[in-house]
Amino acid sequence: MGRKKVATVVDDAFQAIGLDKAALYVKGLLGVLEHPPEAYERAITVAATSEGVSLREIGRHEWAGLLAMWNMPREGFRQLYEQIPGGKPGFEEVWKVTGGNPRILEGLYGAGWDARTAARELLRRKGITPQFVAKWRSWLERAVSDPDALWSPDAPEELISELVERNLILYFLPDRDPRLWVDQPPPERDPVLGVGRRVAWQTPLHRDAIKTALEDFGR
C-alpha cells in the first residue's frame, strides 16, 4: 500500500485457526518482520490471546516475545462503568465481581446485574459438570479460598490443565515488574479479586462460578 510504517494486530485468532497452528501462525508473523515484502521504515506485529493453552504452545518456541496483560486498571474501568445508562449497583460491588474485565461487565449487565445468574451462565459455557466438581471438590475448595493452592507441589496437574484449558485460571503469573506486562500488572496478591502470587482466577466471577458449582452440586 506504499505505507512506510506497518502494524499487524491479531486478537484471539488461535482458537479459530486451531491450537496446532498457533505457533506456525506466530512464526509467519515473525517472517513479516524478518523478510518484509516491502522496504518498511518500521513494522511491528502483535498477537493477543486469552487462552492459556495457546500461550503454552507458543511459549515452547523462541519465535515471540511474551508479555502478560491484565484486566483494565481501576480508574479506566470506572470510566467505562459510568457510561452504562440506567440504574446499576455501586462501583465497588461491580469491581468485586468483574475485577476490571469489560467482558464480564457486559455479562453482568446482561444478567440484570445479578452476579449469581451471571456465574451460572459462566458455568454452563465452561462446561462445569457435577462429575467434574465431585472429582476435584477438595482442590477446588482450596483454590476458591486461595488460587496459589494450585501452585503446591502436590496439586494435580490434570486439574490445573483442565482449569487452564477452560480459561478459568491464569497459571505461572510473571513477577509484577512492569516490563513483563502490557499496561498495569495485577496486585501482588488480592484475595477479594482471586489473585495469588503465581496463580489467579481469570476474574472474580470465574472464582465465584466455581464456588456456586460447589454449592449447587452438593456432596
The Cα–Cα gap between 7 and 15 comes to 22
Q: Model-level pTM?
A: 0.87
Using DSSP's 3-state secondary structure scheme, residue 46 falls into: strand
Which whole-number Å values give the CA distances from 153 to 67, 150, 156, 157, 166, in the listed order? Answer: 25, 8, 8, 9, 22
Instruction: Give the residue, 53 or 209, on which the prediction is more confident.
Output: 209
Q: Are 194 and 207 in contact (CB under 8 A)?
A: yes
Q: DSSP E strands: which ranges in 28-174?
A: 42-48, 68-69, 169-171
Residue 182 C-beta-side C-alpha neighbours within 13 Å? 12
The answer for residues whose C-beta is within 8 angstroms of residue 115's C-beta and 6 or more apart is: 97, 108, 205, 208
In this predicted model, what pLDDT tens digit does every residue of 117-154 receive, in sequence order?
A: 999 999 999 999 999 999 999 999 999 999 999 999 99
**Per-residue pLDDT tens digits for 68-94:** 889 999 999 999 999 999 999 999 999
How far is it, in rounded angstroms, from Cα 11 to Cα 30? 16
Q: Residue 200: what are its φ and ψ, rounded to 5°?
A: -145, 145
- Dist. CA 137–CA 169, nearest whole Å: 16
User: 97, 124, 100, 92: which is closest to 108 by C-alpha?
Assistant: 97
Does 201 have pLDDT greater than 90?
yes
- 36 alpha carbon, distance to own chain's centre: 32
Is the separation of the CB atoms in 116 and 212 below 8 Å? yes
Check residue 174 and report its DSSP letter.
P
Q: Which residue has the higher pLDDT, 94 or 48?
A: 94
Over range 169-183, report the average pLDDT: 92
Please give the pLDDT value at position 114.
97
Q: Which amino acid is at 210?
A: I
Residue 203, all three cell numbers: 476474574
Burial profile 25-45: b = 16 or more Cβ within 10 angstroms, e = fewer:
bbeebeeeeeeeeeeeeeeeb
